[in-house]
């Protein structure tokens, strides 16, 4: 036993010494890479930079560039953030900041390179950042600066910016009191992968055109209201946050949201949606809400809108939940298994509507001001209709197997017809009917409060239960 114990202790000692030796080699290896940056040692390399270069000329022809005479600035980078700002400088310039460090494999390109080219009134800026598997620091920036004393604020220059992980900040984030920090950029196109996009309060809020695209980043503005003649938003999993969006001609804002999110307080204009599992939250839309793309159906989305003053056209919803408090125009909505809810305490549909879902529930409130037509249909879902005003409409309600629930106030006059899916009138004693509108003389059709016409008609067809109650 003692001999075995000695063997175990000896083996443990040798193992400890071997691991200690390996650990020392590893430490020496890492130290060597730190002291010999950009050198490949045993298949790995360490890179580190700390530079800030100010450019006022192109890097190929060494010609001084002038933002005033430049009509387009194109920026291409991977990890660099892009900043457009006014600064306490004497002349226009581009500043390249590179304070990056990390580890890379021997085959990775860890060189940093920037180039500026000018042709046909277009300034092109390309930046290549170090590539590595472990980035300890990633502070690389491209900063466009004009003097605070300059009268030119980019009003005639279009920016087209593409980055991957780099963010884009348009406008100063702060300024000294009494200095002119406002930019007046009219055309802006930004496309990032994971980078954020920010339009600051020191950027004029009036644009000719805006294209904002981020695959998974966040796009937002410090302004209470952004104005434009054209706006397109695009993302896969990113997020857009705005307070107010105003289309100067009352046109359409295009939003391709993928699985992302859109939050807006007010939209002046129409909103056109293309999305998948997206979430949309809007307090008010001054014109129409549109989703007419038959190829890319709105799939499993959550759409919440306070008021749509115009029409709603969403004929290609798929498994999506739609909630709208108030609709000023007509409504054309069709979904599969998603639920559709329209109406608030004193708001709802007042004009012609067609709402259909396959398996979802429909819950709407009606306040007809004129003679209109409403059509509600579902296969197996329930349909609930609340009349906030005396009906002036012809309402057709169809559900194959779902229940139909009607709510009206006392004294309303209308004609109610109750049928099964085959079109046969239910007997007044049918167990599927529950009517609280009259105390006796239940008939089918039911002439509520002595109504004798045919214009104000609620025609219900279902194999499920039918209830009509007072509120």
Per residue of the chain (471 residues), give pLDDT as tens. 555 555 555 556 656 655 665 556 555 555 555 555 566 665 677 788 889 999 999 999 999 999 999 999 999 999 999 999 999 899 999 999 999 887 778 777 888 999 999 999 999 999 999 887 677 778 899 999 999 888 889 999 999 999 999 999 999 988 766 567 889 999 999 999 999 999 999 988 899 999 999 999 999 999 999 999 999 999 999 999 999 999 999 999 999 999 999 999 999 999 999 998 999 999 999 999 999 887 777 888 999 999 999 999 999 998 899 999 999 999 999 998 889 999 999 999 999 999 999 888 999 999 876 778 999 999 889 999 999 998 888 999 999 889 999 999 888 999 999 999 998 999 877 888 998 887 667 888 999 888 888 888 999 999 999 999 998
pLDDT digits (tens, 9 = 90+) for 416-430: 999 999 989 998 778
Instruction: Say how far apart CA 377 and CA 400 lie, in whole Å.
Output: 9
The answer to whether residue 430 is domain-embedded is yes
Contact present, 96 and 57 (Cβ < 8 Å): no
The DSSP symbol for 356 reads E
Looking at the structure, tell me whether residues 206 and 66 fall in a common domain: yes
Q: What is the pLDDT of residue 9?
A: 57
Annotate 311-343 with three-state secondary structure: CEEECCEECCEEEEEEECCCEEEEECCCCEEEC
Structure tokens at 194: 């994971």
Last residue of a domain, one of 165, 192, 223: 223
Residue 345: domain span: 339-471
Looking at the structure, tell me whether residues 219 and 354 fall in a common domain: no
Contact present, 184 and 123 (Cβ < 8 Å): no
Structure tokens at 321: 């939940």
φ/ψ (deg, to 5) at 30:
-65, -45
What residues form DSSP beta bridges with 415? Answer: 447, 457
For the chain, the domain total comes to 2
Contact present, 292 and 310 (Cβ < 8 Å): no
The answer to whether residue 399 is domain-embedded is yes
Across 395-415, b (16+ Cβ under 10 Å) vs e yields: bbbbbeebbbbbbbeeebebb
Q: What is the pLDDT of residue 293?
A: 80
Q: How far is CA 356 from the centre of its chain?
A: 26
Q: Which long-range contacts (CB under 8 A, 24 or more apart) does 111-120 make?
A: 112/49, 112/51, 112/140, 114/53, 114/55, 114/59, 114/142, 115/59, 115/60, 116/55, 116/57, 116/58, 116/59, 116/60, 116/65, 117/58, 117/59, 117/60, 118/58, 118/61, 118/63, 118/65, 118/70
The answer to whether residue 161 is domain-embedded is yes
- Select from 178, 189, 152 the least CA-distant residue to 72: 189
Looking at the structure, tell me whether residues 201 and 343 fall in a common domain: no
Q: What is the pLDDT of residue 323?
A: 97
Q: What is the pLDDT of residue 393?
A: 84
The answer to whether residue 6 is domain-embedded is no
Looking at the structure, tell me whether residues 56 and 187 fall in a common domain: yes
Looking at the structure, tell me whether residues 210 and 354 fall in a common domain: no
**N-to-C CA span, the chain:** 92
Contact present, 172 and 194 (Cβ < 8 Å): no
Angle at CA of residue 119, ends 114 and 120, nearest 5°? 150
Cβ neighbours of residue 388 closer than 8 Å, sequence gap 6 or more: 343, 346, 348, 365, 366, 367
Looking at the structure, tell me whether residues 200 and 74 fall in a common domain: yes
The answer to whether residue 107 is domain-embedded is yes
The answer to whether residue 318 is domain-embedded is no
Angle at CA of residue 125, ends 119 and 129, nearest 5°? 150
Q: What is the pLDDT of residue 190?
A: 98
Angle at CA of residue 164, ends 159 and 166, nearest 5°? 70
Instruction: Say how far apart CA 285 and CA 305 lie, in whole Å.
Output: 8
Q: What is the pLDDT of residue 466?
A: 93
The answer to whether residue 459 is domain-embedded is yes
Instruction: Say how far apart CA 213 and CA 197 lie, in whole Å.
Output: 9
Last residue of a domain, one of 223, 239, 264: 223
The answer to whether residue 243 is domain-embedded is no
Q: What is the pLDDT of residue 10?
A: 59
Counting DSSP H helices and E strands in the chain, the numbers are 1, 41
Three-class DSSP category at 70: coil
Structure tokens at 117: 């080219």
Last residue of a domain, one of 199, 223, 247: 223
């Amino acid at each position: 036993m003692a001999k075995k114990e000695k063997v175990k202790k000896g083996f443990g000692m040798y193992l400890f010494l071997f691991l200690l030796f390996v650990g020392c080699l590893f430490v020496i290896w890492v130290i060597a890479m730190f002291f010999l940056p950009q050198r490949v040692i045993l298949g790995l390399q360490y890179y580190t930079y700390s530079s800030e270069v100010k450019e006022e000329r192109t890097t190929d022809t060494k010609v001084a560039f002038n933002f005033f005479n430049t009509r387009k600035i194109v920026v291409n980078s991977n990890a660099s953030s892009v900043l457009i700002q006014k600064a306490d400088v004497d002349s226009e310039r581009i500043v390249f900041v590179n304070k990056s460090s990390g580890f890379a494999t021997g085959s990775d390109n860890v060189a940093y390179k920037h180039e500026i080219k000018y042709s046909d009134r277009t300034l092109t800026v390309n930046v290549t950042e170090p590539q590595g598997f472990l980035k300890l620091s990633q502070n690389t920036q491209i900063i466009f600066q004009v003097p605070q004393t300059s009268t030119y604020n980019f009003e005639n220059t279009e920016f087209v910016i593409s980055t991957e992980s780099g963010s884009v900040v348009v406008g100063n984030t702060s300024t000294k009191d009494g200095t002119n920090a406002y930019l007046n950029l009219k055309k802006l196109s930004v496309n990032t992968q994971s980078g954020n996009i920010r339009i600051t309060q020191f950027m004029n809020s009036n644009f000719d055109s805006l294209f904002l695209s981020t695959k998974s980043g966040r796009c937002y503005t410090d302004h209470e209201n952004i104005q434009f003649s054209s706006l397109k938003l695009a993302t896969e999993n990113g997020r857009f946050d705005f307070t107010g969006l105003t289309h100067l001609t009352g046109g359409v804002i295009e939003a391709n949201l993928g699985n992302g999110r859109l939050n807006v307080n007010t939209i002046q204009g129409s909103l056109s949606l293309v999305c998948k599992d997206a979430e949309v939250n809007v307090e008010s839309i001054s014109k129409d809400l549109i989703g007419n793309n038959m190829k890319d159906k709105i799939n499993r989305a959550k759409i919440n809108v306070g008021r749509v003053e115009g029409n709603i056209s969403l004929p290609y919803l798929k498994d999506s939940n739609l909630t709208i408090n108030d609709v000023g125009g007509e409504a054309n909505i069709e979904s599969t298994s998603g639920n559709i809810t329209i109406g608030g305490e004193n708001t709802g549909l007042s004009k012609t509507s067609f709402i259909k879902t396959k398996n979802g529930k429909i819950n709407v409130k009606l306040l007809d001001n004129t003679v209109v037509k409403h059509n509600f249909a579902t296969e197996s879902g329930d349909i609930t209709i609340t009349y906030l005003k005396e009906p002036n409409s012809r309402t057709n309600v169809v559900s194959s197997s779902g229940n139909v629930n009607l709510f009206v106030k006392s004294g309303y006059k209308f004609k109610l017809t109750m049928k099964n899916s085959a079109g046969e009138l239910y007997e007044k004693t049918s167990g599927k009917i529950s009517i609280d509108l009259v105390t006796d003389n239940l008939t089918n059709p039911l002439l509520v409060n002595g109504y004798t016409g045919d214009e104000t008609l609620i025609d219900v067809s279902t194999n499920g239960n039918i209830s009509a109650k007072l509120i």
